[in-house]
Amino acid sequence: MRILFLGDIVGRSGRDAFLERVPGLRAQLALDLVVVNGENASHGFGLAPDMARAFLAAGADVITLGNHAWDRREIVPYLEEERRVIRPINFPPGTPGHGAVVVEVPGNRRALVVNAMGRLFMDPLDDPFRAIQAELAKYPLGRSVQATILDVHCEATSEKQAFGHSFDGMASLVIGTHTHVPTADHQILPGGTAFQTDAGMCGDFDSIIGMQKGGAALRFWRKMPGEKLSPAEGEATLCGLFVETDDATGLATRVAPLRQGGRLSQVMP
């Protein structure tokens, strides 16, 4: 299976880059599955349903969220009707929406996508490790699904790496989101799981993690509330990770970064 995971979409520039480039990338890379984190798509905070519909129409198979999942109230009923948009699985029982989804992939194949949120320096949600473990037990890799993707939305690199090593051999890909900076540690772990600490973002990198520099920097200078943060609006870089897997085992055979457009060095798988 040929999989592309794209990092957090931030604001209009990230949305425009995704909508413009993903249809061509699907064809150029012969992609079977595209997953993107969309939790910062709506002016940097949350995801509006109309934006989610546009991403799905442009080629996303699954959209994951994170700590900004509830910033747009209108997303709550939408999460109940659209299973392909998922929020972290370790929100408490009774929280609207779903933390995982199985999608059909060309060739009579299926892929499981799970979204989880870390607890270090973030909201103290339920245990994400046990929540993921329980979900993976329902869909054994290489048997009931041909690929499994885990989006671990965390602040700390150590926690993201703990997810990678904990589920090595049980997932096709464990990929970090939330910190918006693409890390250079893409690899296949010893058990066959592809891993990268952070996928980066789909946004303008002439910014502070996707936000306009002035107001964001002043928060560090003054240590007091400042103006409302707004997404940077220059040309976006589309950042993500390409993974190729073996359908028989579900494990990764190839992993390569993707960076297209904007300020960062350009890389194609």
pLDDT for 45-56, tens place per residue?
Answer: 999 999 999 999
Q: What value does the mean pLDDT take over residues 81-101?
A: 97
pLDDT band at 87 (very low <50, low <70, confident <90, very high): very high
Residue type (1 letter), 165: H
Residue type (1 letter), 50: D
pLDDT above 90 (res 30): yes
pLDDT band at 223 (very low <50, low <70, confident <90, very high): confident
Q: What value does the mean pLDDT take over residues 78-102?
A: 96
pTM here is 0.95
pLDDT band at 264 (very low <50, low <70, confident <90, very high): very high
* Cα–Cα distance for residue pair 197/148, rounded to 1 Å: 17
Can you give the pLDDT at residue 25? 97
pLDDT above 80 (res 97): yes
The mean pLDDT value of the chain amounts to: 96
First to last CA, the chain: 14
Choice between 109 and 218, residue whose per-residue pLDDT is larger: 109
pLDDT band at 247 (very low <50, low <70, confident <90, very high): very high
pLDDT above 80 (res 83): yes
Choice between 99 and 217, residue whose per-residue pLDDT is larger: 99
Residues marked as catalytic:
68
- Per-residue pLDDT of 139-196, as tens digits, reads 999 999 999 999 999 999 999 999 999 999 999 999 999 999 999 999 999 999 999 9
Percent of the chain exceeding pLDDT 70 equals 99
Q: What value does the mean pLDDT take over residues 114-132?
A: 96
Can you give the pLDDT at residue 27? 96
Can you give the pLDDT at residue 215? 84
pLDDT above 80 (res 224): no
In order of their start, the domains of the chain are 2-204+230-260 (3.60.21.10)
The pairing of strands 85-86 and 62-64 is: parallel
pLDDT above 80 (res 226): no
